[in-house]
Amino acid sequence: MARESGTIVVAVGGNSLIVDQDHVSVQDQQRAATESMKHIAEMVAAGWRVVATHGNGPQVGFLLRRAELASGELPTLPLDVLVADTQGAIGYMFSTALRAEFGARGIQKDVVALVTHSVVDPDDPAFAAPSKPVGSFMSEAEAAAHAAEDGWNVVEDSRRGWRRVVASPLPRRILEVDAVRALVEKDFTVIAAGGGGIPVVAQDGGYRGVEAVIDKDLATALLAKELGAGTMLISTAVDAVAVGFGTSQQRWLATVHAAELREHLAHGEFGAGSMAPKVRAAVDFVEQGGDRAVITSPQLMMEALAGTAGTLVLP
């Protein structure tokens, strides 16, 4: 597949909606979405065809907590439905903010937020070893009750209490990739693969949802590869990738090749729940044909694309 050098897939960071624990209301999230979408609008104004993905961890957590509080009156909802729910809500906030930005800048484009499914392998080893914490903290007694009554896998999380853990399988295919490609070709700005995509497995000629969560950075890399995008950008809370982070040997990486990052990953250089998935996604993308991957903070996206900020990952 020929690479589309003018198409970029952007993973909007987890701080795009929840800035801090004191600003979690819907109104707070809408304000944060407005700020985040300014950076996407800048890319569009510069001539990029943008597909944006996003995380949904806090939002799924809120929905799970609401379900717990209402469990005496209403049935619980499975994770695949909650991912779909957050895709719709966050897509709504992002598309509304983007349309306002486009209008203010005189950009004649429209936005589509697409409910997106990620196909996973039912035999993925992750299903045999659930490890991704979801939902709120519980006492040991509550966790034991859920394990016995609901079949949950539960673990003690950093001595802060007990939490449910679910599988985090690798995404193998984005079902709607052809639809995303057609929308991009029609000059739409697209929001897709939110929360890593709704996790589904093939069954009886169709698909069924599964109790899992998919890493949104790995799903972003897969979507970018399947679209044939030339560039993938992952925004995060720091300006660039560092080795020796937080130590006296800390060193920021400006331009780096995938092979070097693979070595750093193998040596456990990056946090498993923070930078490691982003680095792995960047490496996967360029090793599978992408021109370049960029990791940086939202404020430095344009500078990073120009090569003057952030971390640039090359094949």
132 given a catalytic annotation? yes
CB-based contacts of 187, cutoff 8 Å, min separation 6: 49, 109
Q: How far apart are CA 303 and CA 311, in angstroms?
A: 11
Tokens of 302: 């344009």
Which SS3 state, helix, strand or coil, does residue 265 take? helix
Which SS3 state, helix, strand or coil, does residue 174 take? strand
Pair 165, 26: CB distance under 8 Å: no
Which residue from 129, 181, 132 is spatially nearest to 3, judged by alpha carbons? Answer: 181
Which SS3 state, helix, strand or coil, does residue 126 take? helix
The residues pairing with 69 across neighbouring beta strands, listed in sequence order, are none
Q: How far apart are CA 315 and CA 310, in angstroms?
A: 17
Please provide the distance, in angstroms rounded to a whole number, between the alpha carbons at the two ends of the chain.
17
278 given a catalytic annotation? yes
Q: How far apart are CA 200 and CA 68, in angstroms?
A: 24
15 given a catalytic annotation? yes
38 given a catalytic annotation? no
Considering 13, 197, 216, 290, which one is annotated as catalytic?
216
Considering 15, 38, 161, 289, which one is annotated as catalytic?
15
Phi, psi of 274, deg, nearest 5: -130, -85
Angle at 12 between CA 292 and CA 114, to 5 degrees: 100
Which SS3 state, helix, strand or coil, does residue 74 take? coil
14 given a catalytic annotation? yes
Considering 14, 57, 161, 289, which one is annotated as catalytic?
14
Considering 56, 194, 197, 278, which one is annotated as catalytic?
278
Considering 132, 194, 230, 290, which one is annotated as catalytic?
132
Tokens of 128: 């045999």
> Catalytic residue positions?
14-15, 132, 216, 278
